[in-house]
Amino acid sequence: MSDSIADVFLSLIDVSPIARVRRNHGLEHATLHVLSEQHPGQPMAGHSDWGGFWILGDLTTEQVTAGVYEALLRLQNGQRHLAVHPNCGTNLVAAGILGGGLASLAWLGVGRKWQDKLERLPLAFTLATLAMVAAQPLGLLLQQEVTTSGDPQGLAIVEIIPSQRGRLKAHRILTTS
């Protein structure tokens, strides 16, 4: 990207609603890191938006509350790496786009016969595999630079609301800037 396009892009992700989602997303990831440290092996997930985020998992409100406040404190104390999580959907998107894109390249110019398509299959698998390897660091970089923020700035916790639907336990964490 040229400097002017990069500058415009970076200024767009700092616009208030987007910046808020990025900060919430970073706090969500930091919370998942903290909760994973405190409750190893416990399955959990999260989802962020401009108003806060959700933590899904078999956790008590006290556990989630302690994890959220510790995560916020650690981000405020400079542990910005907590905003990047290896299981983030950004990583899956990067893998899907790269894998699908490169595998599709293998089919360009292929004739109409099935034999032509079958001959390209090893190339498609190879390109898709290479894309998946490249997607891992790319997804982490995209999180760090685009989809999350490790700087909570004025982010504050407003309320933590427990919820349960059937066996699924969740907590809604509302934030404000």
| Same domain for 93 and 66 | no
Entry pTM: 0.81
| Same domain for 99 and 54 | no
The H-assigned helical ranges of 39-147 are: 61-76, 89-107, 114-142
Residues 36-50, mean pLDDT to the nearest whole number? 96
| Same domain for 172 and 126 | no
Tokens of 147: 């989809």
Q: How many domains does the chain have?
A: 2
Cβ neighbour number for residue 145 with a 10 Å cutoff = 13
| Same domain for 122 and 73 | no
| Same domain for 133 and 49 | no
Answer positive or negative: Cα dihedral of 124, 128, 131, 133.
Answer: negative
| Same domain for 168 and 110 | no
| Same domain for 53 and 19 | yes
CA–CA separation, 23 and 66 (whole Å): 19
Residue 12: predicted pLDDT: 58
Quick one: pLDDT band at residue 109, thresholds 50, 70, 90? low
Residue of 56 and 107 predicted with greater confidence: 56
| Same domain for 171 and 130 | no
CATH number for the domain that contains residue 77? 3.30.980.10
| Same domain for 40 and 99 | no
Range of the domain at 133: 89-142
Quick one: pLDDT band at residue 1, thresholds 50, 70, 90? very low
